[in-house]
Structure 1
Amino acid sequence: MKKQSVTLVQVAAKAGVSVMTASRAMSGDGYVSDETRNKVHAAAKALGYATNTLARVMKGGRTNVIGVVVNDLGSVVVNAFVTAMTEEARKCEMDLFIYNSIGQLDEQTQRRHSQLLHGLWDGLIYVLPRMTDEYLEALEKSDSPIVLVNFCRRETTLPVVQGDNFNAARDAVASLIAQGHQRIAFIKGSHWTGQSAERERGYRQAMADAGLRVDKHWVEQGTYSEQSGQEAGMRLLALSPRPSAVFAANDEMAIGCMNAALEQGIKVPEELSLIGFDDVPSASIVRPQLTTLRHPIALMAQAAVQELVRRIQRQPGRRQRVEFPAEMVVRDSTATLLATPRRRAKKA
């Protein structure tokens, strides 16, 4: 004999509240006191009641689901954001729907996303989005709650949670200059989020502040991959005179550049200082350990979820753009230039 499903009427009766109050408590729509909500949830759990998300959507209700659009689930940084967002969403009694959108977000994918995701989520978070201006404009015209994470390529009316790239990069390069380095190169990444451009701007500002010229050959294009960093490193280290320090827009490219140096018998940091960005796990595993910059990913993820939930609940949002400072993590890949064997031999 087929077991009958538990109804909301039964849940309401067990909790001692009206069906309307039980519905509000389960859906999250409308005000219900914490005490009443807990009572209703306890009754639902005791009876084995499961909400029907599809039915709720068809009635125009909320799903209590946050959509998170990413471009690469293989990225260590993206995974760190998703993990922290999942924890924060659970605290808000929400679930996460992860959509891995490989490649750029354009008008065609925007239409496909609208068809696939409409009604499945109450709001969307885009993590490190690779979107065209047309796609961004479509999102700006949308009535849906949307938050962007680490997007600074251009101004937008959408709320953005991001890490400080400019000041972090400027301070990192300034630290190299303070160690006696003047020939400092930069390996930049792809342009989609605007982070690489901000890090390059910080690099150039630090050089200008110190009265140092940036040779056009000192700025190399990478793609945020370790291989691109190695290839860029090979080109930089073939220069004469070669740079004494390299600042890369992320850790993978810095590690790739380190590999290029080791292949050519160039010692790090004795003959080449290196700084990366992101503080991925491998940064503390490579030898020498990589000096890098770290954004507070957990705090940024929490802020993004909280901002989206506020907008889902039609509460006043915070500032349109919230920026978190970066921390410099000093390890073994940087050294004072005057301490290098080559400089000591020349001085003798």
Structure 2
Amino acid sequence: MNSPMKKAVTLAQVAKHAGVALMTASRSLSGEGYVAEETKARVLAAAAELGYAPNMQARAMKSGRTNVIGVVVNDLASPLINAYIAELSAEVRRYQMDLFIYNAVDDLTSANGRRLDQLLNGLWDGLIFVLPRMSDEYLAMLEQSERPVVLMHYCKHKTSVPVINGDNFNGARDATQHLIDLGHRRIAFIHGSAYTGQSAEREQGYRAALEDAGIAFDPALVEQGDFSERSGTEATERLLALATRPTAIFSANDEMGFGCMLALQRAGLSVPADMSLVGFDDVPVASIVQPRMTTLRHPIVDMAKAAVQELLRRIKNQPGRRQRVEFPSEFVVRESSAPPPATSARRPAGRTRKTV
């Protein structure tokens, strides 16, 4: 026999349990109006103890807002996406709001526009989309929506929707310049998915550094990947099959870089003695693998703060910032990059550099 469903805890019960007036409990939980910190802490403790969950529909009917921010992603398995979610969650909670995570799984397009319409009209005050692989149809629907929306980690097209990004072009140029300064001249690049703009910007930075150094671009040294570890392994195997193989590989993300390491290990080659390696993103594993990976790091904390603040401005109908805000990347030098065999190192140069 099924047990009866437990009734939801009411705000009045929380107020009674905390020994405060109903209005005080409401202000403590909504963050609106002044409440002494000690009193607020008592109310929050009472709410947690009783298992109180606010009724978002009632909250929206009363104030026109739910104090809930939605975050839409399409790859919960990605360490980078999870890093964005963690920092967005921390920032949303600083404003005493709740976070709702929606996993889109695939690229929502006009073929399932009804799903996107339902998402945009859900019980949240605004949405942050962390969708690097967003389709053109999906972007067009967001541009036509009147709901407050902010994009993160999106580079494929210019858009009227506000975008918070890290600097891919200059970061990639710094990474390539680092390898050039070490003495490398045959530097390979492994491209990520063609469906995102990040990889294209990173290839542009790679090519710009080669041009600045007077090194001719060799299309044979550019391999296509899809940001997965497997594709990094396969791309590296193709590079090793070249008549004159590269002495360094710059992969458009760390996960493909891990695949590069695996392929080199299978081939009996050592990193960095036989082949230098640079990644991008600085996911947590990059500082654990052996050798630790030289890579680039986007300031995810600053980007999350900017995204939430921009969304809140739009929720409150306040003037927004520029349509595209780009944060500089940080170059993190570790053990996976070194001079090529039988080549002495020259003095390194770069824009933003950190050795850890």
Scaled to the shorter chain, the TM-score interval is: 0.7 to 0.9
SS at match of 1:137: helix
Amino acid at match of 1:205: A
* Number of the residue aligned with 2:104: 101
Whether contact under 8 Å (1:64, 1:94) holds in the other structure is yes
TM-score (norm 2): 0.84
How far, CA to CA, are the matches of 2:81 and 2:100 in structure 1?
Answer: 14
Q: Distance in 1 between matches of 2:250 and 2:7?
A: 64
Which residue matches 1:91?
Answer: 94
- Paired position in structure 2 for 1:229: 232
1:26 and 1:37 in contact (8 A); partners too: no
Cα deviations by residue, 1:247-302 (Å, 9 ceiling, x for unpaired): 00001111211211121122221121110001112212222211111111122112
Distance 1:38 1:314 in 2: 32
320-329 or 309-318, which moves further after superposition? 309-318
Instruction: Note the C-alpha offset of 1:53.
Output: 1.3
Question: Which runs of 4 or more aligned residues in structure 1 lie more than 4 Å from their structure 2 counterparts after TM superposition?
Answer: 2-8, 14-17, 21-28, 35-50
Matched letter for residue 175 of structure 1: H
Structure 1 residues 45 and 231, CA gap change in structure 2 (3 angstroms) = closer
- Give 2:293's aligned amino acid: L
1:240 to 214, 219, 243: 243
1:51, CA displacement in angstroms? Answer: 3.8
How far has the Cα of 1:167 moved from its partner? Answer: 0.3
Q: 1:163 matched to which residue of 2?
A: 166
Shift in CA distance, 158/226, structure 1 to aligned 2, threshold 3 Å: same
* CA distance in structure 2 between the aligned counterparts of 1:288 and 1:41, rounded to whole angstroms: 47
Q: Deviations over 1:136-185 (max 9, x none)?
A: 11111111110100111110111111100000100110111111111111
My pick for the range that moved more, 176-185 or 331-340, is 331-340
Query: 1:57 Cα deviation (Å)?
Result: 3.3
Q: Verify: 1:301 aligned to 2:304, yes or no.
A: yes
Runs of 5+ in structure 1 lacking a partner?
342-348
Partner of 1:63: 66
1:55 CA displacement: 2.2
**Residues 50 and 218 from structure 1, CA distance in 2 versus in 1: closer, same or farther, beyond 3 angstroms?**
closer
59, 73, 76: which one aligns with 2:76: 73
1:256 to 256, 259, 267: 259
Superposition deviation, residue 6 in structure 1: 5.2
CA distance in 2 between counterparts of 1:38 and 1:195 reads 47
| 1:287 corresponding residue in structure 2 | 290
- RMSD across aligned C-alpha pairs, in angstroms? 3.0
Give the counterpart of 1:331 among 320, 334, 337. Answer: 334
Are positions 1:190 and 2:181 aligned together? no
What displacement does 1:33 show? 4.4
Within 5 Å, which residues of 2 pair with 1:115-130?
Answer: 115-116=118-119, 118-130=121-133
The alignment-based identity, stated in percent, is 57
- The C-alpha deviation readout for 1:165-215, integer Å capped at 9, x for no partner, is 000100110111111111111001013331000000000100111111121
SS in 1 for 2:77: coil
The DSSP-based 3-state class of the residue aligned with 1:113 is helix
Query: What is the one-letter code of the residue matched to 1:244?
Result: T
Map of 2:325 onto structure 1 = 322
Q: State the distance in 2 between where 1:96 and 1:134 align.
A: 26
Partner of 1:140: 143
Q: What is the aligned residue count? A: 334
Structure 1 length as normaliser, TM-score? Answer: 0.86
Say if 1:312 and 1:230 are closer, same or farther in 2 by CA, change over 3 A: same
Residue identity matched to 1:269: P
Instruction: Please give the alpha-carbon distance, in whole angstroms, between the structure 2 residues aligned to 1:285 and 1:43.
Output: 42
Looking at structure 2, the residues matched to 3 and 128 of structure 1 have their Cα atoms a distance apart, in angstroms, of 38
CA contact 1:229–1:257 (8 Å) conserved in 2: yes
- 8 Å contact kept, 1:67–1:97: yes
Q: Secondary structure at the match of 2:259?
A: helix
Consecutive unaligned residues in structure 2, runs of 5 or more: 1-5, 345-356
In 2 relative to 1, CA 72–157 (structure 1 residues): closer, same or farther, beyond 3 Å? same
